[in-house]
Each structure stands twice: as structure tokens, then as C-alpha cells.
Structure 1
Amino acid sequence: MEQFWKTKSLEQMSEAEWESLCDGCGKCCMAKLEDEDTGEIHWTSVACRLFDAGTCRCSDYAHRLDRVRDCVRLTPQNVQNLSWLPATCAYRLVAAEEDLPSWHPLVSGRPESVHEAGVSMRGRIAAQEDELDEPAQYIPYILEEEP
């Protein structure tokens, strides 16, 4: 398999190549809280209302930007500036000219490898955002560290 992520910049990738960089971990679909004073990101186990906890994918990916007000479309221009992307995010790694981990489906050749490595949010969702009304309700779901 051609390792296009090693030879192409994010801007040079086809749409299919770009989409295949997503490892399916689901971390970007979790609610995150930012400390206004420090800028520190606090990860939660609260999923977007469109998140499918079984597949770790968006249940309406094609229409997510229309259906979820604060959904962010990742682009080659913004991935380096989104402090809430997980350290393991392939978009972030490729932008920094780092290699993909061995569990990434493009490296392993298997979509389940991200889940088998314990890197995904599969089995770790405690609530969905449409179940919570107030920002304070997210606090009990804060994780001790980045998942």
C-alpha cells in the first residue's frame, strides 16, 4: 500500500486520502471544556448527539455541519491550530511531519486496530450531549487525562 501520508502534504491529498486519515477513534466527537484562564482542555466522556458509540463514527457525517451547530470541519489550514485535537490525531501528526502509529488503520490495514489498541472511545461513552442542558452538567464527565 502506498504510504501517501509520507509523500504528500495535507493540501496535496485527494478527498479520499484525506478522509482515510481519520482513524475512527471518535475523540474529536467528544465534548471538551476549556479553562478560560489557562486554556487547558478538559476531555469528557460526553459524545456529540450524532456520534454512534458502536462504530465510533458520525451517524450523519454528510450533514453534520448543518445538524450540529458547533461541529468543526477539519481542513489542512486549521488542523495545526485546533488545540483540542488529540495528540494521536493523524491530521495533526501528518501536519507535523510525524509518522502514523502502528495501530492506525492505514498502517495496520485493519479498521479494528484502533479499537484493539484501546485508543478509541468505543465503550467509554457515559452520556450524549443532547441529554445535558447546562454546561455544569458536563463536569462529572470530565476525564482525568486525554483519552
Structure 2
Amino acid sequence: MKATPFWRTKTLDQMSAPEWESLCDGCGKCCLNKLEDWDTGEIAWTNVACRLFDDGTCRCGNYEERFAIVPECIQLTPAIVRSVAWLPPTCAYRLVDEGADLYWWHPLVSGDAQTVHEAGISARKRTVSEETVAVEDYEDFIVEWPEREPG
């Protein structure tokens, strides 16, 4: 009999560091710059990615030193997951926290890190670097695809 996967039996707070890291599906959406309306709290997604984001791999180009290089980078923790509105509906951290299961394309389910890209969920090849876009122009880069749930 197959053991129940850890994400179905543990809360985010109970996970080991390797389990926590493995929850990241590699979609890259958390590395996209978002605009928040201060009056309504509404989030607008852009396809402007962090300067460390690798558009081909959907991974951070310097994960170990990201906080020193990009001080505004936010490290996800269980408390952050519960308090931010900008995690996409497909985010494994969000799903697990809400008691939902992971999608079929998540690498922990499929066994393949490429399925998130093959399913069209990731930011791969859809971004521009924040190094090439002025902050005041971010509104010109608003996109809706990061908020869409898989069909």
C-alpha cells in the first residue's frame, strides 16, 4: 500500500525544510511584480519579473543570496502564505494551507519538473526583466494569466 503524501498529512508549519522547498512547483509566478491598489487592496499582476528570475528555468538565478541582492524579496513562510493576497490560485503553499490537493502537473504528483511548464501554468518565456522596465511603466505590463486556474 502506498503511503499518503506528506502534503496531505502535514500542515505547512509541520513540514521539514526539504518538504517545504519541494512544495514549490517552479511556476515562477511569485517572482512577478504585482501592483496593489492601496484603496481596495486589489492585486494586478504584471509579467515584469524580478531581476534574478531566469525566464527559461523559472527559477531564481541566485537563490542562496537573493535577500542580499534583492532586499524586497519575500521569503514565504506559513504566516506569509496566510497573510498575502498575491499567491496565485495554483500555488501549492496556498492549496495545502487551504486543505486542497495539488494539481496533476505539480512535480510532486507527476514526478516530472517539466509538467508545470507543459500544462501552461508557469511564467516560462512570458516575462520581461524589471531591469528593462521603469517602475512607472509597470501598468503597461499588466497580465491576467497568473490568476487563472487550470481549465
Once the two structures are superposed, what CA deviation does each residue of 1:38-69 show, in whole Å capped at 9, x if it has no partner? 11100011010000001000011111111112
For 1:93, which of 82, 92, 95 is the aligned residue?
95
The correspondence of residues 1-147 of structure 1 with structure 2, limited to 5 A, is 2=3, 3-125=5-127, 127-133=128-134, 135-145=135-145, 146=147
Where 1:28 maps in the other structure, the secondary structure is helix
Give ranges in structure 2 of 5+ residues lacking alignment.
none
- State the one-letter code of the partner of 2:6: F
User: Structure 1 length as normaliser, TM-score?
Assistant: 0.94
Aligned length in residues: 145
Q: Which amino acid aligns with 1:76?
A: P
Give me the whole-angstrom Cα distance separating, in 1, the residues matched to 2:138 and 2:66.
22
Distance 1:93 1:66 in 2: 29
Runs (4+) off by over 2 Å: 144-147
Rate the CA distance shift 1:108–1:67 in 2: closer, same or farther, 3 A.
same
Measure, in 1, the Cα distance between the counterparts of 2:129 and 2:138: 10
Q: What do residues 94-127 of structure 1 show as CA deviations (whole Å, max 9, x unaligned)? A: 11111001111100110000000000001211x2
- Which moved further from structure 2: 112-121 or 6-15? 6-15
SS at 2:41 equivalent: coil
CA apart distance, 1:144: 3.5
Query: CA shift at 1:12, angstroms?
Result: 1.2
Give the percent of matched residue pairs that are identical in Structure 1 and Structure 2: 58
Q: TM-score of the superposition, structure 2-length normalised? A: 0.91
